[in-house]
């Protein structure tokens, strides 16, 4: 959506295909980081975004073996955005769709499911898709941007394969109702002890909570019964029966099968992968959507002028990958480090004390600003090209 909006503002004719009839998906890309908030200001959508219902998270605390440490403090960041905005992704996407509708060259087709690529003389020249009524359609294009996530159908159709990175966990997502007046005041709480790990985000009337489980353990652990999970949360967060009874049964617990990987080459003739389609991220830090937005900005800036001339040569698509490779690799390495330092020892029961790095960050609070900068702004920040900037409204 972001790539389409920015390219449309450059005068490029853009068609965005969305498989579903609406954007209503839960637990998807709700953590909007300062890097994205700055970008929204640059393209004139900052005020409209700020008006959306949201919670603002300013600090990341971890409770490890009963000891509380400060892991990140976004209040120390430079600029006006010193927080993570927790906004339902459907509201964010609706905002981008409304902005796109203002551009005469932007078209959004909902309920349009990608079914295949069209190739001529070894180059992708279009896509085929199916609408909700079962009708088959085809659209010709100078470039296909694959922005369809970790299980990208476009990536598979283009014959591109990720190199996978081993991960130790899957994640259960649960909405846990909050009691009136029960607030964490903009804090993310993560709790780790021997055998358990969970993170909860204050969303106002509920806690968006993730519970980490060993890779592939979903079926085995669900056999314990829902009371077992309630007991885990009671021990981790001190929630009472009034809160925990809001987890009615296992239907309230959604499984995210965590994968991590990266394409050696993000493109082929006529196709460029962005976001999770190019580099599937761990959910650690909630960086995935923000890294994808940064990819979109870089792609729009690099590709706008070539697209005015027609099909984009592969060497130009390679420039996008080169631009975005460093922050992608650095982020995945950081996530792998957190997996090894904290998540895996917690789940396998060997976590006995606060890791040394976190003890140092907690002792010197300025370092919590450094971790917030790395997670919230990241390396090689992208800024909106001049053709995409608008006055705020």
CATH number at residue 161: 3.50.50.60
* Domain-embedded: residue 369: no
Residue 328 and residue 132: Cα distance in Å, rounded?
35
Residues 25 and 109 in one domain: yes
Q: What is the mean pLDDT of residues 42-54?
A: 95
Residue 85 and residue 36: Cα distance in Å, rounded?
10
Residue 81, pLDDT > 90, answer: yes
Last residue of a domain, one of 227, 257, 287: 257
The closest of 111, 154, 143, 146 to 130, measured between CA atoms, is 111
SS3 content of the chain, % helix, strand, coil (to 5): 40, 25, 35
* Domain-embedded: residue 63: no
What is the H or E stretch that residue 203 is in?
A: none
Residues 160 and 283 in one domain: yes
Domain count, the chain: 2
The single-letter DSSP state of residue 131 is E
**Which of these ranges, 10-14, 83-87, 136-140, 144-148, has the smallest mean pLDDT?**
83-87
Residues 246 and 284 in one domain: no
Q: Write phi, then psi, for 208 (nearest 5 degrees).
A: -80, 110
56 contacts 345 by C-beta, under 8 angstroms: no
Residues 29 and 127 in one domain: yes
Mean pLDDT of the chain: 93
Residues 173 and 297 in one domain: no
* Domain-embedded: residue 365: no
Last residue of a domain, one of 233, 257, 281: 257
10 Å CB burial of residue 131 (0-12, 13-18, 19+) is: middle
Residues 116 and 180 in one domain: no
Residue 206 and residue 174: Cα distance in Å, rounded?
10
Residues 279 and 224 in one domain: no
Residue 369 and residue 366: Cα distance in Å, rounded?
5
Residue 393, pLDDT > 90, answer: no
* Domain-embedded: residue 316: yes
Residue 186, pLDDT > 60, answer: no
Q: Residue 124 sits in which domain range?
A: 1-55+76-165+261-344+377-388
* Domain-embedded: residue 276: yes
Residue 276 and residue 291: Cα distance in Å, rounded?
9
Q: What is the mean pLDDT of residues 256-282?
A: 97
Q: pLDDT tier at 15 (50, 70, 90 boundaries)?
A: very high
Q: Residue 21: what pLDDT?
A: 93
Residues 198 and 130 in one domain: no
* Domain-embedded: residue 349: no
Q: pLDDT tier at 187 (50, 70, 90 boundaries)?
A: low
The closest of 291, 65, 63, 64 to 188, measured between CA atoms, is 63
* Domain-embedded: residue 351: no
Q: Residue 146: what pLDDT?
A: 98
Strands 267-268 and 271-273 come out as antiparallel
Radius of gyration of the chain (CA): 22
* Domain-embedded: residue 204: yes
Q: Residue 65: what pLDDT?
A: 85
Q: What is the mean pLDDT of residues 281-310?
A: 95
Q: What is the mean pLDDT of residues 357-382?
A: 94
pTM given for the model: 0.93
Residue 199 and residue 237: Cα distance in Å, rounded?
10
Q: pLDDT tier at 237 (50, 70, 90 boundaries)?
A: confident
Q: What is the mean pLDDT of residues 56-74?
A: 91
Residue 75 and residue 380: Cα distance in Å, rounded?
21
Q: What is the mean pLDDT of residues 236-254?
A: 91
Residues 98 and 234 in one domain: no
Residues 177 and 135 in one domain: no
Q: How many residues does the chain have?
A: 393
Residues 28 and 118 in one domain: yes
Residues 40 and 136 in one domain: yes
Q: Residue 177: what pLDDT?
A: 86
Q: What is the mean pLDDT of residues 203-229?
A: 92
């Amino acid at each position: 959506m972001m790539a389409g909006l920015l390219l449309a503002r450059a005068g490029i004719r853009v068609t965005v295909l969305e498989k579903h009839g609406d954007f209503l998906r839960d637990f998807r890309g709700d953590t909007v980081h300062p890097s994205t908030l700055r970008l929204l200001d640059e393209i004139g959508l900052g005020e409209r975004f700020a008006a959306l219902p949201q919670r603002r998270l300013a600090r990341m605390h971890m409770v490890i073996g009963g000891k509380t440490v400060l892991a990140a403090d976004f209040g120390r960041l430079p600029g006006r955005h010193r927080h993570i905005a927790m906004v339902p992704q459907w509201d964010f996407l609706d905002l981008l769709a409304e902005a796109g509708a203002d551009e005469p060259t932007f078209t959004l087709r909902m309920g349009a499911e990608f079914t295949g690529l069209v190739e001529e003389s070894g180059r992708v020249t279009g896509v085929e898709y199916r609408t909700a009524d079962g009708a088959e359609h085809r659209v010709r294009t100078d470039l296909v941007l694959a922005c369809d996530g970790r299980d990208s159908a476009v990536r598979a159709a283009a014959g591109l394969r990720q190199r996978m990175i081993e991960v130790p966990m899957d994640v259960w997502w649960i909405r846990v109702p909050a009691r009136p007046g029960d607030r964490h005041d903009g804090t993310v709480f993560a709790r780790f002890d021997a055998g358990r790990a969970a993170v909860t985000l204050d969303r106002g009337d509920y806690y968006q909570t993730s519970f980490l489980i060993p890779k592939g353990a979903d079926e085995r652990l669900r056999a314990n019964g829902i009371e077992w999970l309630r007991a885990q949360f009671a021990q981790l967060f001190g929630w009472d029966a009034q809160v925990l009874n809001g987890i009615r049964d296992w239907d309230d617990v959604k499984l995210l099968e965590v994968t991590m990987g990266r394409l050696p080459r993000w493109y082929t003739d006529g196709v460029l992968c962005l976001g999770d389609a190019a580099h599937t991220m761990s959910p650690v830090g909630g960086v995935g959507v923000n890294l994808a937005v940064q990819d979109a900005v870089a792609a729009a800036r690099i590709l706008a002028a070539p697209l005015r001339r027609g099909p984009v040569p592969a060497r130009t698509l390679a420039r996008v990958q080169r631009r975005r490779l460093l922050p992608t690799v650095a982020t995945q390495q950081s996530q792998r480090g957190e997996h090894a330092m904290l998540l895996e020892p917690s789940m396998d029961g060997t976590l006995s004390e606060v890791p040394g790095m976190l003890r140092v960050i907690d002792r010197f609070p300025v370092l919590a600003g450094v971790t917030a900068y790395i997670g919230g702004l990241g390396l090689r920040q992208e800024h909106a090209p001049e053709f995409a900037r608008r006055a705020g409204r």
